[in-house]
């Protein structure tokens, strides 16, 4: 899921300066799990904006704010309140903000910072595990991503700089990803995978903006300058 945090109220008020009427949109998916754009947070934001002198013309929580069809449909249910507002404050990820802006053709303000795609370890604890590189190597590492979890993104490791207690030389707070990979492969009897030299990564697969289109059962992936 997309991990995000809410922008400060000062930044939000700054973005809304010069406007009087606002509609607030949240998202029942990632933004709710991250506690930045669910029912509770939308209600809290409404109170804060009203205290600051804004008229809140309406609020809604999209089931998934990055789904164009869902935004188009729900936009019709809230047409009047949306059209009465100068802008929409969106408490969802950057993709949700743009989906609402594109589909409903309204002025949008982001109310959150989208940080990374992450694993929910537990509510309130999120960890980045994948950088969506487009060329997955987890097969060779038994499920631990070196691209994301090794501070240097080494495809063949470790670098030799890890400490005696197995911490990374770049970030002593975290375990060396390549030692974790070694321990896992060893425990599962897969150590021969460590001997396979991985070729340099094709970073063109990470060029943005990426897109994927299904055509006759085939996924066509494009991105960057392609």
Binding positions for ligand SF4, rule: CB under 6 A = 130-133, 136-138, 145, 147-148, 150-152, 154, 157-159, 161-162, 168-170, 176-178
Q: Is the peptide bond before 149 cis (omega within 30 degrees of 0)?
A: no
Q: What Rg, from alpha-carbon coordinates, does the chain have?
A: 22
Structure tokens at 71: 């935004």
CB of 128 to ligand SF4, least distance (A): 9
Angle made by CA atoms 159, 120, 91, in degrees to the nearest 5? 115
Q: Which is nearer to ligand SF4, 172 or 222 (CB)?
A: 172
CB of 29 to ligand SF4, least distance (A): 20
Q: Which is nearer to ligand SF4, 26 or 157 (CB)?
A: 157
Tell me which residue of 23, 33, 43, 35 sits closest to 88, measured CA to CA.
23
Q: Which is nearer to ligand SF4, 52 or 191 (CB)?
A: 191
CB of 202 to ligand SF4, least distance (A): 11
User: CA-to-CA distance for 133 and 147, rounded, in angstroms?
Assistant: 8
CB of 162 to ligand SF4, least distance (A): 4
CB of 219 to ligand SF4, least distance (A): 15
CB of 199 to ligand SF4, least distance (A): 13
Q: Which is nearer to ligand SF4, 94 or 153 (CB)?
A: 153
- Say if CB 72 and CB 102 are below 8 A apart: no
Neighbours of 193 (CB within 10 A): 14
Residue entry with tokens 């070729």: 199
Q: Which is nearer to ligand SF4, 1 or 133 (CB)?
A: 133
- Say if CB 93 and CB 4 are below 8 A apart: yes
Q: Which is nearer to ligand SF4, 170 or 221 (CB)?
A: 170
- Say if CB 173 and CB 149 are below 8 A apart: no
Give the DSSP letter string of 35-54.
Answer: TSSSHHHHHHHHHHHHHTT-
């Amino acid at each position: 899921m997309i991990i995000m945090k809410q922008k400060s109220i000062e930044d939000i008020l700054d973005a809304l300066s010069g406007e009087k009427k606002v509609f607030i949109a949240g998202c029942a998916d990632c933004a709710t799990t991250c506690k930045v754009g669910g029912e509770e947070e939308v209600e809290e934001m409404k109170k804060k904006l009203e205290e600051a002198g804004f008229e809140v013309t309406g609020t809604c929580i999209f089931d998934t704010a990055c789904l164009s069809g869902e935004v188009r449909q729900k936009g019709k249910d809230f047409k009047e309140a949306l059209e009465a507002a100068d802008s929409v404050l969106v408490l969802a990820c950057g993709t949700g903000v743009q989906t609402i802006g594109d589909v409903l053709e309204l002025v949008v303000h982001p109310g959150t910072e989208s940080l990374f795609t992450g694993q929910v370890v537990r509510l309130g604890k999120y960890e980045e595990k994948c950088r969506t590189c487009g060329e997955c190597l987890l097969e060779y590492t038994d499920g631990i991503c070196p691209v994301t979890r090794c501070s240097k993104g080494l495809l063949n490791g470790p670098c030799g700089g890890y400490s005696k207690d197995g911490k990374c030389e770049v970030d002593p707070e975290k375990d060396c990803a390549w030692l974790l990979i070694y321990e896992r492969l060893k425990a599962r009897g897969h150590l021969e995978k460590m001997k396979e030299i991985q070729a340099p990564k094709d970073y063109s697969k990470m060029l943005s903006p990426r897109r994927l289109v299904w055509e006759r059962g085939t996924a066509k992936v494009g991105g960057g300058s392609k």
